[in-house]
Amino acid sequence: MTVPERSALSGEVQEPPVSGRGWMLRGARAAISIPALILTAAFVGYAGLARETGLSLAETLAMTGLIWALPSIVVLTGALSSGMGLIPAGIAVALASVRLMPMTMALMPLVKVPGKTRTWQLLIASHFVAVTEWVFAMRNLPDLPREGRLPFFVGFGGAVTGFVFCMTGIAYLLVEELPDLVAGALVLLTPVYFLCSLWGASRLGEDKLALAVGLVLGPVFFLYLPGLDLLWTGLAGGTLAYAGMRIARRRVP
């Protein structure tokens, strides 16, 4: 057991340095949180959706562990269930995932230790970047020592991913045993979580306006362009929101 040292100058008790493994364990403990439970509930709902669309357990778990970001998983599931071609499905998933690029670019300098952190370590950490983890990291990592940020984030992301992965598999196997009302409510958790997470993470007026426009245009494209409704809703909603905000700002003196 390491005994805290007392500074000869200040007389204050100094805590011993925490190892990388210690920071990972702290991150894993921090994963026991309300946002992580909400995310788990959303993936439980997705398990019901995946089973309804005919995906196998292996396919559902592979998409959960490898893709990880729930909106992209939902987009790909919808593309597979509608018989969409490979290229349109790839474009739809890319558009759903492109938001993760600026999030990753904003987070990596925060966890990187100049001259020490290797590229493969950042690549591992970038896999866990999603709305829940990103919001938690940007809120809590600046208060940690720079050497502990990366292992803390990996511990947090790994714990959340592992728990969600296991619960998704269990939910997939048990969803048929649930009452229809409960199963339907769990399926609805996915879009509700998606909408609430994006709204809460939005910092610009354009983001919230794009969500509002998308809510209006989504049913329209679903009726008239089935199979490509998510793609056109995102493209049209984002474009109209961006153009509208640019025009509004020009009119402000």
Residue 5: strand, helix, or coil? strand
The alpha carbon of residue 123 and the mean position of all alpha carbons in its chain are separated, in whole angstroms, by 16
Phi and psi for 13 in degrees, rounded to 5?
Answer: -80, 125
The arithmetic mean of pLDDT across residues 35-46, rounded, is 81
Percentage of residues in the chain with pLDDT exceeding 90?
23
Query: What number is the average pLDDT over the span 221-227?
Result: 78
Angstrom distance (rounded) from CA 93 to CA 139: 28
Q: Please classify residue 128 by burial: count the beta carbons closer than 10 Å to its beta carbon, then call 0-12 exposed, 13-18 middle and 19+ buried.
A: buried
Q: Which pLDDT score is estimated for 111?
A: 92
Is residue 88 within 8 Å of residue 79, measured between CB atoms? yes
Angle 86-97/70-81 helices, nearest 10 degrees? 160
Q: Mean of the pLDDT values across residues 177-201? A: 68
Distance (Å, whole) CA 237 – CA 216 = 9
**Distance set, CA 236 to CA 79, 197, 222, 243 (Å):** 19, 21, 13, 10
Helix/strand/coil percent split, the chain, to 5 = 75, 0, 20
In this predicted structure, which of 73-77, 175-179, 202-206 has the lowest mean pLDDT? 202-206
One-letter amino acid of 136: F
- The pLDDT mean for the chain works out to 80
Neighbours of 203 (CB within 10 A): 8
Domain edges within the chain: 18-201, 204-253
Ramachandran angles phi, psi of 128, nearest 5°: -90, 0
pTM (predicted TM-score): 0.71
